[in-house]
């Protein structure tokens, strides 16, 4: 073998070793989500990945696991808590057991618009909730839109408060949500979304409530007949990281993660806003019977569930509840 050939081989080996070392040295962040791949939240996860990897020049690699690839929402939250994954994108409802104060922004008919909802969450209310999460070893990286939640069922169209009587309805694990439907006379059942389709299909439940985007993307219209525009709760998603793993990142890498998440959440909020009506029309086109909620009935539903806010004071500091109401009023 000639000397020049040997030098060329040595050079190639050095380059290979450097590339291998670079790959091995890259920070890897495992991020999970429980939304279908076509949902705006799963697509926002892609935005986050692209921004992080680009801004870090590949020093941080993000491995995405959307669509319940690592289990349901409850399991994903536990995985973040243990540090087996870096972060999760999910509904704030899955943190209410650990941080009951989230229930204060989950009260029925609290918000009239998404702009009002985010004005509240992006201010002192959200800062307080972030502090509560930090005390439990979590880092809130950002809030996005899950949206206004609407009732579907297989019993009847919703035209009166009495139509909820005895209805077996799936709810998220949020005590405010459960109490709201008890106040309406329904029989609410807390269940992870991963189990919901089969429960509806088998007739274990009569109905469920979700934003249009979830009803459509999870194909609940295949096992539900009636759809309303009840809009009884406005639901947020949050991206939550394991605090220990987040703080182990360099300051530069934390700034990259923060900036990428801000971009991802801005993108997600805009996409969710643009797509909401299209999701509803898709459900109607695919055969669901849509019955709009009248202004009079909405007022009756609000009155019937007012007691829920009163009982929340047993679990959440009344001063914080009052702050939520004050911020919501100021954002009108």
Per-residue pLDDT of 119-158, as tens digits, reads 999 999 999 999 999 999 999 999 999 999 999 999 999 9
**Inside any domain, residue 8:** no
Structure tokens at 64: 């995405």
**Which pLDDT tens digit goes with each residue over 315-331?**
999 999 999 999 999 99
At residue 27, the 3 state secondary structure works out as strand
Hunting for tokens 């009884």 — which residue is that? 232
Q: What digits encode the pLDDT tens for the residues 154-164?
A: 999 999 999 99
Residue identified by tokens 């692209």 is: 50
Q: What is the DSSP string of 49-106?
A: HHHHHHHTTTSEEEEEE-TTTT--HHHHHHHHHHTSSSEEEEEGGGGTTT-GGGGGGS
Q: Provide the domain count of the chain.
A: 1
Domain with 252 in it: 25-330
Note whether residue 19 is domain-resident: no
Smallest CA-to-CA distance from 304 within 207, 187, 173, 160 is with: 160
Instruction: Tell me the three state secondary structure of residue 36.
Output: coil
H runs (alpha helix) in 95-209: 114-121, 124-135, 175-183, 196-201
pLDDT at 23 over 70: no
φ/ψ bin of 228: left (φ > 0), alpha (ψ from -120 to 50), beta (otherwise): beta
- Whether residue 259 lies inside any domain: the answer is yes
Q: How far is it, in rounded angstroms, from Cα 180 to Cα 184?
A: 7
Domain annotation covers residue 201: yes
At 236 the three-state DSSP class reads strand
- Is the residue at 9 inside a domain? no
CB atoms within 10 A of CB 288: 20
pLDDT digits (tens, 9 = 90+) for 96-112: 999 999 999 999 999 99
Mean pLDDT for the chain?
94
Here the CATH number for the domain that contains residue 106 is: 3.40.190.170
Residue 247 inside a domain? The answer is: yes
Q: What is the DSSP string of 267-325?
A: HHHHHHHHHHHHHHHHHHHTT-EEEPPPHHHHHHHHHHTTHHHHHHTTTS-HHHHHHHH
- Rounded to two decimals, the pTM is 0.90
Backbone angles phi, psi at 307, to 5 degrees: -65, -20
Tens of pLDDT, residue by residue over 165-201, are: 999 999 999 999 999 999 999 999 999 999 999 999 9
Q: Is residue 238 part of a domain?
A: yes
Helix (H), strand (E) at residue 325: helix 318-330
The answer to whether 151 and 158 are in contact (CB under 8 A) is yes
- CA-CA distance, 126 to 140, in Å (whole number)? 10
> pLDDT tens digits for 45-93?
999 999 999 999 999 999 999 999 999 999 999 999 999 999 999 999 9
| Local confidence band at 26 (pLDDT 50, 70, 90 cut-offs) | confident
pLDDT, position 76 = 97
Of 159, 131, 134, residue with least CA distance to 320: 131
**Is 266 within a domain?**
yes
């Amino acid at each position: 073998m000639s000397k020049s050939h040997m030098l060329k081989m040595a050079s190639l080996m050095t380059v290979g070793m450097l590339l291998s070392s670079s790959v091995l040295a890259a920070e890897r962040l495992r991020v999970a989500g429980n939304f279908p791949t076509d949902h705006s939240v799963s697509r926002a996860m892609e935005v986050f990945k692209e921004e992080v990897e680009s801004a870090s020049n590949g020093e941080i690699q993000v491995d995405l696991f959307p669509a319940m690839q690592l289990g349901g929402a409850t399991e994903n939250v536990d995985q973040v808590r243990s540090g087996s994954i870096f972060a999760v994108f999910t509904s704030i409802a899955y943190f209410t057991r650990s941080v009951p104060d989230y229930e204060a922004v989950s009260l029925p008919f609290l918000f009239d618009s998404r702009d009002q909802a985010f004005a509240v969450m992006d201010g002192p209310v959200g800062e307080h909730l972030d502090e509560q999460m930090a005390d439990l070893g979590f880092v809130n990286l950002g809030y996005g839109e899950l949206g206004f939640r609407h009732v579907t069922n297989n019993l009847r169209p919703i035209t009166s408060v009495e139509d909820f009587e005895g209805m077996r309805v799936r709810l998220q694990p949020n005590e405010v949500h459960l109490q709201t439907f008890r106040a309406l006379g329904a029989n609410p059942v807390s269940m992870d979304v991963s189990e919901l389709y089969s429960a509806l299909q088998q007739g274990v439940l009569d109905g469920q409530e979700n934003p249009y985007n979830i009803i459509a993307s999870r194909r609940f219209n295949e096992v539900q007949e009636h759809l309303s525009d009840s809009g009884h709760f406005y639901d947020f998603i949050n991206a939550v990281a394991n605090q220990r793993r987040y703080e182990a990142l360099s300051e530069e890498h934390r700034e990259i993660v923060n900036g990428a998440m801000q971009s991802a959440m801005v993108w997600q909020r805009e996409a969710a806003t643009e797509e909401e009506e299209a999701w509803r029309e898709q459900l109607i086109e695919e055969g669901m019977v849509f019955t709009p909620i009248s202004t009079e009935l909405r007022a009756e539903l609000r009155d019937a569930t007012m007691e829920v806010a009163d009982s929340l004071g047993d679990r959440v500091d009344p001063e914080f509840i009052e702050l939520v109401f004050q911020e919501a009023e100021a954002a009108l």
